[in-house]
């Protein structure tokens, strides 16, 4: 997928999206549902790291601050949170070159960047919701499909369409296409045999 989700609010670094979906999909082999699961975990961990960073800065603990910034940068990059990754990287450089005082406003910038990531994550979740609903519908229709295939009932031709998304999720595109082709060719026995594993 080549589209990018960018929050309408100003992001910390001009031109960097809250979530660079192209980069995230490259890292995750195109698995958008996986990104949808990882983002809430990333947000939760980032909130904790942000609080720990504030404490480290208040205690003037440069080593702890450096470790937290490095973790922030790595975890942000892993989910395509481009603005946060760049922000943490710049903060790491500032800490090395200019010391702790240079990072006085950084935790507030992290909070703003994280708010953008949260908004982008909500957008991704909204995109995933219809697919999840389709999967549930397909799973619910599968027993009926198996019954129709077993009894050579032509209604299988209609029900297979409801199950397609679910079958692709369960079996992969190639095997799902094999089932679809078998049904379309009225090879109901062959389709039933191929589907037996998906029903378990």
Is 5 within the bounds of a domain? no
Question: What is the CATH number for 45?
Answer: 1.20.120
Q: Which residue has the higher pLDDT, 13 or 27?
A: 27
Residues 6+ positions from 183 with CB-CB distance below 8 Å:
149, 156, 157, 160, 191
The domain total for the chain is 2
> Which of 101, 129, 157 represents a domain boundary (last residue)?
129
Q: Of the given ranges (58-62, 93-97, 153-157), which has the lowest mean pLDDT?
A: 153-157
96-108 in b/e burial notation, b at 16+ Cβ within 10 A?
eeeebeebeebbe
Percent of the chain, pLDDT > 70? 84
Q: Of the given ranges (93-97, 102-106, 120-124, 132-136), which has the lowest mean pLDDT?
A: 132-136
Same domain, 121 and 149: no
How confident is the model at residue 69, as a pLDDT?
Answer: 95
Task: Convert the pLDDT of each residue in 124-168 to its tens digit.
Answer: 877 766 554 445 665 777 888 888 888 888 888 888 887 877 787
How confident is the model at residue 131, as a pLDDT?
Answer: 52
Same domain, 76 and 107: yes
Same domain, 99 and 144: no
Residue 79 and residue 20 in contact, taking contact as beta carbons nearer than 8 Å: no
Is 1 within the bounds of a domain? no
Residue 17 and residue 6 in contact, taking contact as beta carbons nearer than 8 Å: yes
The position carrying tokens 């720990």 is 52
Same domain, 122 and 50: yes
Name the band, by pLDDT with cuts 50, 70 and 90, for residue 9: very low
Domain holding 98, by residue range, is 21-129
| Distance, C-alpha 70 to centroid of its chain | 22
Report the chain's terminal Cα–Cα distance, integer Å: 32
Name the band, by pLDDT with cuts 50, 70 and 90, for residue 49: very high
Same domain, 122 and 160: no
CA gap 137, 36 in Å, rounded: 20
Q: Of the given ranges (90-99, 132-141, 166-175), which has the lowest mean pLDDT?
A: 132-141
Name the band, by pLDDT with cuts 50, 70 and 90, for residue 3: very low
Q: How many CB atoms lie within 10 A of CB 79?
A: 25
* The pLDDT of residue 55 is above 90: yes
The position carrying tokens 């790291």 is 49
Same domain, 149 and 182: yes
Same domain, 101 and 166: no
Reading the block at residue 175, the tokens are 């095997």
């Amino acid at each position: 997928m080549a589209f990018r989700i960018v929050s309408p609010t100003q992001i910390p670094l001009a031109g960097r999206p809250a979530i660079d979906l192209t980069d995230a999909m490259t890292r995750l082999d195109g698995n958008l549902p996986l990104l949808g699961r990882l983002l809430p975990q990333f947000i939760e961990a980032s909130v904790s790291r942000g609080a720990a960073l504030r404490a480290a800065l208040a205690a003037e603990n440069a080593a702890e601050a450096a470790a937290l910034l490095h973790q922030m940068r790595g975890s942000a990059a892993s989910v395509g949170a481009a603005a946060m990754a760049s922000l943490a990287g710049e903060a790491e450089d500032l800490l090395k070159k200019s010391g702790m005082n240079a990072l006085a406003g950084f935790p507030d910038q992290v909070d703003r960047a994280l708010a953008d990531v949260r908004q982008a994550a909500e957008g991704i979740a909204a995109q995933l919701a219809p697919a999840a609903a389709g999967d549930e519908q397909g799973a619910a229709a599968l027993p009926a499909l198996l019954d129709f295939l077993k009894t050579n009932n032509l209604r299988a031709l209609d029900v297979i369409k409801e199950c397609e998304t679910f079958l692709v999720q369960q079996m992969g595109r190639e095997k799902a296409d094999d089932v679809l082709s078998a049904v379309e060719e009225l090879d109901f026995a062959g389709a039933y045999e191929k589907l037996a594993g998906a029903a378990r």
